[in-house]
Amino acid sequence: MSTPLVNSYVIRRPSVAGYFYPSDRTSLEQAVASLTPHTADPAQALAAIVPHGSLRHAGAVLGATFSRLQIPRRCVLLGPSHTGSWMPWSLMAGGAYRTPLGEVPIDESCAEALMNRCAFLEHDAWSQRGEHAIEVVLPFLQRLGPADLTIVPIITGSDDEEAFSHLAMALAQVIRMQEEPVLLIASSDLSHYVPQLEATAHDQHLLDAIATLQGAALIERVRRDSILMCGYGAVATVLDAARHLGATRTEVVAHQSSAEAGGDPHSAIGYAGVVIL
């Protein structure tokens, strides 16, 4: 009897390796190690916001942020779709993700619990293929997390505020049921393709909204100022979920733009790492 797809699917070939990060194990290990400074007192946070740019441009922010965190065995990752998936919401409910550092199993029980609470969440491993919003985060979790690390990767292409709120409540309910810590991770860049000075100003407005821990405040800021923020829905969902779980404050660990990392100053992208406590 064949094994069901949900239990056996593996993202077998890292789709952005060699572009967003090194494609061979040794080079990737060295790159991530160089970007993750030792932190004497990492925080047991409820959630974090990290960028999903290449290691060249966003690696310093990714490394500083994950170095600030205690990485538990269970992590739930939310990110936007860059591949045009036809599903507005999907998750990978079984199998594993593979990077050059090895495989990361899906937390099937957590994924099932979320789908039971959100009818719009559908199992679709194919929507993960080519999706760098999740993939670029994994090497940092693999280096800093426990050997038995598991994940639930969720991809959204939705702009539905009610769905964001519904998923936030479901995440909080599922996490409360766990007997161990769960880290929520929103994968999102900030302002996009604007001059450096404008990017800095827009990013500060976004970070001010994020500090309120109100998803609606972030969405209102994005729409009012017409800011192209790749992943604002994931961030809004995680903010609300963390608040439901008792979060009281945010801490900006690192913030810089692609221009500050050597990119085009006339078309900058903002990157920030935020820990939610």
> pLDDT digit string (tens) for 76-122?
999 998 776 667 888 999 999 889 999 999 999 999 999 999 999 98
* pLDDT, tens only, 237-262: 999 999 999 999 999 999 999 999 99
Query: For the chain, which residues make up each domain, given as ranges?
Result: 5-276
* pLDDT, tens only, 167-211: 999 999 999 999 999 999 999 999 999 999 999 999 999 999 999
Please state, in angstroms and rounded to a whole number, the distance separating the CA atoms of residues 166 and 79.
16
CATH number of 5-276, picked from 3.40.830.10, 3.40.190.290, 3.40.50.20, 3.30.390.50: 3.40.830.10
* pLDDT, tens only, 2-60: 333 344 455 444 478 877 989 999 999 999 999 998 877 899 999 999 999 999 999 99
The residue type of 32 is V
The sheet that has 150-156: what strands, in order across it?
122-123, 89-91, 150-156, 74-80, 182-187, 47-50, 270-276, 250-257
CA distances, 59 to each of 27, 106, 140 (Å) = 14, 24, 10
Kindly report the pTM of this predicted structure.
0.93
Please state, in angstroms and rounded to a whole number, the distance separating the CA atoms of residues 50 and 137.
8
Q: What secondary structure, in 3-state letters, does 11-40 show?
A: ECCCCCECCCECCCHHHHHHHHHHHCCCCC
